[in-house]
Structure 1
């Protein structure tokens, strides 16, 4: 991918180009220093500066416009200072399109009893690395983000799981708001956008409190929505997500639903006004032998595919489905734990979500997103939540 030249005065602006007349869905363009991102968009996750098994050229071929990397993991190995020394994340991983890095907060708080919180920051034990204790503040987190050099970075926040007491979620909102202000003041790179994160669990009043605090402290160019898909049902998630996105989020800034990636959630997320999504789901399920498809999820460990001449999904135009690879061959690779099976399924699954968002965008521009959702909900592919 050749690096796009974007005028500095357009960095991080967001243009809404179409709004669906019957839903809250909108199509837009997010401008970044490394190129424009059409929305709605799915962002593949390259946790450790790689989308597992896929070359940057593969990602470009599949239609990737922006991808993610993870601050926590990169801070542990190889270290954000080394990435900066190597020319920054774009050069290090040879992906020259837009990149978003999360704060690593979700990974930190997943360490459970090995985490200690205070107003000052968070201390945690790196149980998945060398077991050492690390202390992060909003300021040190911003320094790491600037060393990585992604186009978009996220504030340090506390992400409460589900279920959680209201008191615990309220404390998470207070800490996240406090840390957001310190991140805002500490962040210096002009070629990098800092997004705030709305927390609040399943409590609408806490969600609104979190959003109001973010809006009062700085002109964030975009907002993440965190604390969903952490154990609750999809129905419960949308009880607060739908009104939050459609009625309360700023209209002229991108809305990013963090860590959500199953197809039906994307379709309904777009319906209520979400612009950006990310998740490890397409590559993680691929490594377990599972594919998204117009028939629903397909488990290629199933014996019914042993003599199947067809592609993964006859309705799919990805390089795997159009390249002559049969279901029987995919099953053989999966059953033998051959790495090519994971690679081919990863390519298919990533393309599937990217293409789903491309088709959603086209439906919005035509003013037909409501019927797009109705048709989707009747398909076998929709039975994935």
Structure 2
């Protein structure tokens, strides 16, 4: 058992992008990295074998809120944790459930102790405190677990953003106190990442970065972005946070975003990303490809028998044609959802791998600037 290690290997000469390796007890992760979201212990429509062989995922996410409600902690503990339960033998990151709880705006109540909320499944009432969330994530068994924070909505006024940030910091103290007083359950190390908040206000974000850095955690996260603020504001705050977080620790930008968002934020010094976009958009007929964005629902693809994308190294993307995938999705055939989701995830993993290659080669910025217009192209 060893704490998470981060080794920076290369810095881009013309941006703040960096390439490195994160080492956990469940294996290594090459950064920058994208993490597929496995909300209830599975990435929607994609098997663990496909994640490993086709997508080439190195780490996936589990969601504390959803796993706590179903299958529940008794099942997860009896199974030996999420790795044993779902058969994924590589690293797992669990979020704190905070974002899900706060999105239940009509049925939750925030107070100093924590947050009471109603289950979306059966309406039962529950209380998430910083201590409870640490205990729940110990049981789920993620290699990286997240602090319990309040995620203020996009466009929050200064007063609300400040009070929310201060509450997040008080909860963070309680998270670390509980985390340090407990042991991992499954004979491997768990690592607690704190989360920067502060809305769209630079002075608050600076305070939050300094507070988070003082915890000397093995890694740090930036939350509260891509929640409704304009894209240029997201970039400005992300860049600002990267300037005020430790250089020697991995930086995780939570819930972002489009392929072009990811490349821009890599250039600012972000190492880790997650987002439901590749699978959610894939299920709704939007494909991200190395040549641009495809709405596979359009009639123009009906007679296109070329591969979905044969440049990204995914067997599924190279094997199936655009015409066939369109037919499956039009027919509401489940295989269509699997192909589209697997392809989009494989594309995201290909993209961050390409970014890593260009950081190492020393031409990342030029490549990024040429790549982004291509990725945004509507085919």
- Asked if these proteins are the same fold (TM beyond 0.5), I'd say yes
Match of 2:314 among 314, 318, 333: 318
Partner of 1:96: 89
RMSD of aligned Cα (Å): 1.2
Partner of 2:282: 286
Tell me, in whole angstroms, the C-alpha distance in 2 between the residues paired with 1:235 and 1:203: 14
Match of 2:61 among 38, 48, 68: 68
Tell me, in whole angstroms, the C-alpha distance in 2 between the residues paired with 1:170 and 1:341: 45
Shift of 1:352: 0.3
Find out whether 1:334 has 2:329 as its counterpart.
Answer: yes
Partner of 2:47: 55
Structure 1: gaps spanning 5 or more residues = 1-7
TM-score, with structure 2 as normaliser = 0.95
Partner of 1:12: 4
Partner of 1:235: 232
Q: How does 1:212-223 map to 2 (within 5 A)?
A: 212-216=210-214, 218-223=215-220
Shift of 1:326: 1.2
SS of the residue corresponding to residue 274 of structure 2 reads: strand
Shift of 1:215: 2.6
Tell me, in whole angstroms, the C-alpha distance in 2 between the residues paired with 1:87 and 1:315: 39
Find out whether 1:158 has 2:150 as its counterpart.
Answer: yes
Shift of 1:314: 4.3
Tell me, in whole angstroms, the C-alpha distance in 2 between the residues paired with 1:239 and 1:251: 18
Find out whether 1:207 has 2:205 as its counterpart.
Answer: yes
SS of the residue corresponding to residue 52 of structure 1 reads: coil
Shift of 1:383: 4.8
Match of 1:263 among 255, 259, 263: 259
TM-score, with structure 1 as normaliser = 0.94
Tell me, in whole angstroms, the C-alpha distance in 1 between the residues paired with 2:28 and 2:56: 13
Find out whether 1:111 has 2:104 as its counterpart.
Answer: yes
Partner of 2:355: 360
Aligned residue-pair number: 371
Find out whether 1:141 has 2:139 as its counterpart.
Answer: no
Tell me, in whole angstroms, the C-alpha distance in 1 between the residues paired with 2:158 and 2:82: 38
Provide Cα deviations, 1:120-143, integer angstroms capped at 9, x if missing partner: 1111122x2111111111001100
- 1:138, 1:183 within 8 Å by CA — same for their partners in 2? yes
Shift of 1:180: 0.7
Runs of 4+ in 1 over 4 A off after TM superposition: none
Provide Cα deviations, 1:183-229, integer angstroms capped at 9, x if missing partner: 0010133510000000011101111111222233x321111100000
Tell me, in whole angstroms, the C-alpha distance in 2 between the residues paired with 1:270 and 1:349: 19
- 2:263, 2:368 within 8 Å by CA — same for their partners in 1? yes
Structure 2: gaps spanning 5 or more residues = none
Shift of 1:284: 0.7
